[in-house]
Amino acid sequence: MGCCSARCMLILLCCVQLITALERQVFDFLGYQWAPIMINFFHIIMVILGLFGVIQYRTRYVVMYLLWTMLWVGWNVFVSCLYLDLGGLSKESDILTLGVSSHRSWWRDNGPGCESEGLPSAGWQNQQNPELSTVLSCWLEYQYIEILHCIVQLLVSLLGFVYACYIVSTSSDEEDSFNFIGEFHHPSKPSQLFF
């Protein structure tokens, strides 16, 4: 196995996916966005299983990673359409918070270069409600930061998908000879058992 083989590239891409998914998970926790938190959690588990499949030469785990990657690409396209207000979706809806809280993306108030102005009344300054502050200006609006997260995830996932397809297509059946049904794999020549 060479340094730049498909397995090494897929291991590298899975590690990049884990790092970017963990970063995204942190900011979704800060914004109390429960749907992305749950889906990011499943994504992290599936990438770890895919990584295990690549390292241990288990084709079934790589196929499972491939199937999850298709769902993950669909999720990132959905989130991008949501933040771009495409297809009847609105970034102001409570789809991502599952209607549990009134929070939005953490980047909405804390993006790069955002200056926020609180309410003028001195009595409201000690309140913890994030809706009480108004963002005046940002270098980059929060929806574009969220879309950039999705684009990074899409690019890494699509590259991982290509390498995983190549690995599955070139793997032989003998690499993953474990049968989940419980049958025992017999050697093709019975005389090999006695010598």
For the segment 74-128, what is each residue's pLDDT rounded down to a tens digit? 999 998 998 888 888 777 777 777 777 666 777 777 767 767 655 455 554 555 5
5 has pLDDT over 70: yes
> pLDDT exceeding 90 applies to what percent of the chain?
39
Question: What local confidence, expressed as pLDDT, does residue 190 receive?
Answer: 54
Question: What local confidence, expressed as pLDDT, does residue 53 receive?
Answer: 92
For the segment 149-195, what is each residue's pLDDT rounded down to a tens digit? 999 999 999 999 999 999 999 886 555 455 555 555 555 555 555 54
* Angstrom distance (rounded) from CA 61 to CA 10: 13
* Angstrom distance (rounded) from CA 152 to CA 172: 32
DSSP 95-136: TTTTTS-S---THHHHSTT-EEE--S-GGGTT---GGG-EEE
Question: What local confidence, expressed as pLDDT, does residue 132 receive?
Answer: 47
Higher local confidence (pLDDT), 119 or 59: 59
Identify the three-state secondary structure at position 137.
strand
Whether 111 and 170 have beta carbons less than 8 Å apart is answered as no
pLDDT band at 17 (very low <50, low <70, confident <90, very high): very high
Backbone angles phi and psi of 106, in degrees to 5 = -60, -30
Whether 115 and 136 have beta carbons less than 8 Å apart is answered as yes
Q: What is the pTM of this model?
A: 0.73
Higher local confidence (pLDDT), 53 or 110: 53
> Which residue pairs, CB below 8 angstroms and at least 24 apart, start in 154-158?
154/73, 154/76, 154/77, 156/13, 156/16, 156/17, 156/20, 157/17, 157/69, 157/72, 157/73, 157/76, 158/73
* Angstrom distance (rounded) from CA 93 to CA 90: 6
For the segment 136-153, what is each residue's pLDDT rounded down to a tens digit? 567 777 788 888 999 999
Average pLDDT over residues 24-31: 86
* Angstrom distance (rounded) from CA 74 to CA 78: 6
Question: What local confidence, expressed as pLDDT, does residue 102 receive?
Answer: 65
The radius of gyration of the chain from alpha carbons, rounded to an integer in Å, stands at: 23
Per-residue DSSP letter, 147: H
CA angle 128, 25, 115 (to 5 degrees): 45
Question: What local confidence, expressed as pLDDT, does residue 182 receive?
Answer: 54
